C-alpha cells in the first residue's frame, strides 16, 4: 500500500530533492523523472522507479494507478504526497502529478551489438541538456540503436535532459565513452562514422549511408575537433542559405538522421 509523506523535513524528501544537483546524482547514482507521460514511457520500457511520489487526487487516474501497482510489485516505494512537496521536488510551480526516482543505468561499449540497428547517433562534448534530451527523442523516433556520448557531455540524467527527452531516456540505450575507446571499438567491426562539419565539402544528401551508420555531432559552439573529424569516414555539411551560418546541434542531428533513414528505407 502507498504510504503518505506530508512533511518537507522527511529525510526521503530531502534526499530526493538533492537529486536536482549533479553531484548528488553521482553520489546516489539515482535521478529524477517527472510527469505521467515520461514515467509511463519508462514503465513500458521496463524501467520502474525505486520510489514514486504522486498527488493524492491523481491516484485514481488509470495510468497513475498502473504505475503505483507496478512500482510496488517491483519492490519500490509509492508515496502519496502534497502538491507543495511535488513542487519542491520538481523545482517547478506546476509539477506533474507524479515524480519518480530511478537508479541510473547505461550500456557499456563492449555490450553494444552494432548489428541491432542500421543507424546510431553520437554526440561529442554536448553541453546543453535540452539538446541532449531532444537528440534522445529524435534517436527514439528514427529507431537508432543508441546514443554514444563522447568525452565530457552534459549529464543525460539531469532534470532538464530527462524532461526534454520526453521519456526517450528510458528507451534509447546510452553509451558513455572517451573518444579513443569509442574509435577503437568502432574499428573492430563494420560501419561508417559520419561527421557533421561546417568545413566539409560533401553535401549531406550525397553519401549512400550503408548500415550501420554512426552519425557524429560535435560541440554546440566549437563543432568537432579537427582530428576527430579527420578520423571519420565521411564528413558532410548541411547547406545553409541564410545570414547566420549555423544550425542548432539537435536540429542538425535530426536533419541528418532522417536523411540516413530515408536512404536506408526509401519511400
Give the end-to-end CA distance of the chain in Å, rounded to a whole number: 51
Q: Smaller CB distance to a copy of itself: residue 208 or 240?
A: 240
Structure-block grid coordinates of residue 86? 511535488
> What is the nearest approach in angstroms of a copy of itself to the Cβ of residue 178?
27
Work out whether 139 is an interface residue with a copy of itself (CB under 8 A).
yes
Q: Smaller CB distance to a copy of itself: residue 63 or 251?
A: 251
* Number of neighbouring beta carbons within 10 Å of residue 212: 20
Structure-block grid coordinates of residue 90? 520538481
Q: Smaller CB distance to a copy of itself: residue 12 or 166?
A: 166
What is the Cα Rg of the chain in Å?
Answer: 20
Work out whether 241 is an interface residue with a copy of itself (CB under 8 A).
yes
119: left (phi over 0), alpha (psi -120 to 50) or beta: beta
Work out whether 238 is an interface residue with a copy of itself (CB under 8 A).
yes
Q: What are phi and psi of 198, to 5 degrees?
A: -65, -25
Which 8-state DSSP code applies to residue 239?
Answer: -
Site stretch for a copy of itself (CB under 8 A), options 70-78, 100-108, 179-187, 234-242: 234-242
| β-strand pairing of 77-81 with 192-196 | unpaired
> What is the nearest approach in angstroms of a copy of itself to the Cβ of residue 249?
10
Work out whether 115 is an interface residue with a copy of itself (CB under 8 A).
no
Work out whether 6 is an interface residue with a copy of itself (CB under 8 A).
no
Work out whether 94 is an interface residue with a copy of itself (CB under 8 A).
no
Work out whether 36 is an interface residue with a copy of itself (CB under 8 A).
no
CA pair distance 140, 105, nearest whole angstrom: 17
Q: Smaller CB distance to a copy of itself: residue 166 or 183?
A: 166
Q: Select the residue interacting with a copy of itself from 109, 166, 211, 231 (CB under 8 A).
A: 166
| β-strand pairing of 30-34 with 51-55 | unpaired
Work out whether 200 is an interface residue with a copy of itself (CB under 8 A).
no
Bridge partners for 216 per DSSP: 122, 195
Site stretch for a copy of itself (CB under 8 A), options 26-34, 76-84, 189-197, 240-248: 240-248
Q: Are 195 and 224 in contact (CB under 8 A)?
A: yes
Going through 13-85 in order, the beta strands assigned E by DSSP cover: 30-34, 51-55, 77-81
Q: Select the residue interacting with a copy of itself from 130, 155, 192, 211 (CB under 8 A).
A: 130
Order of strands across the sheet that contains 30-34: 3-5, 77-81, 51-55, 98-103, 30-34
Work out whether 247 is an interface residue with a copy of itself (CB under 8 A).
yes
Q: By the criterion CB under 8 A, which residues form the site for a copy of itself?
A: 41, 44-45, 130, 134, 137-143, 164, 166-168, 171-172, 203, 205-206, 238-244, 246-248, 250-251, 254-255, 258-259, 261-262, 267
Amino acid at each position: 500500500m502507498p504510504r503518505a509523506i506530508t512533511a518537507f523535513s522527511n529525510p526521503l524528501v530531502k534526499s530526493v530533492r538533492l537529486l536536482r544537483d549533479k553531484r548528488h546524482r553521482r553520489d546516489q547514482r539515482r535521478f529524477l523523472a517527472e510527469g505521467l507521460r515520461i514515467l509511463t514511457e519508462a514503465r513500458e520500457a521496463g524501467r520502474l522507479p525505486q520510489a514514486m511520489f504522486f498527488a493524492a487526487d491523481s491516484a485514481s487516474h488509470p495510468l497513475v494507478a498502473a504505475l503505483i501497482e507496478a512500482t510496488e510489485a517491483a519492490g519500490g516505494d509509492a508515496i502519496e504526497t502534497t502538491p507543495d512537496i511535488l513542487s519542491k521536488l520538481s523545482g517547478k510551480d506546476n509539477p506533474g502529478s507524479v515524480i519518480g526516482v530511478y537508479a541510473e543505468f547505461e550500456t557499456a561499449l563492449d555490450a553494444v551489438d552494432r548489428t541491432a540497428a542500421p543507424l546510431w547517433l553520437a554526440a561529442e562534448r554536448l553541453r546543453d541538456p535540452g539538446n541532449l534530451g531532444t537528440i534522445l527523442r529524435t534517436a527514439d523516433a528514427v529507431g537508432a540503436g543508441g546514443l554514444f556520448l563522447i568525452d565530457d557531455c552534459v549529464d543525460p540524467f539531469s532534470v532538464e535532459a530527462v524532461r526534454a527527452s520526453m521519456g526517450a531516456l528510458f528507451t534509447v540505450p546510452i553509451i558513455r565513452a572517451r573518444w579513443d575507446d569509442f574509435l577503437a571499438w568502432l574499428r573492430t567491426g563494420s560501419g561508417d562514422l559520419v561527421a557533421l562539419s561546417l568545413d566539409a565539402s560533401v553535401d549531406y544528401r550525397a553519401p549512400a549511408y550503408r548500415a550501420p551508420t554512426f552519425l557524429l555531432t560535435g560541440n554546440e559552439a566549437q563543432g568537432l575537433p579537427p582530428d576527430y573529424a579527420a578520423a571519420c569516414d565521411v564528413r558532410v555539411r548541411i547547406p545553409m542559405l541564410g545570414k547566420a551560418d549555423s544550425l542548432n546541434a539537435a536540429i542538425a542531428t535530426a536533419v541528418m538522421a532522417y536523411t540516413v533513414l530515408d536512404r536506408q528505407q526509401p519511400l
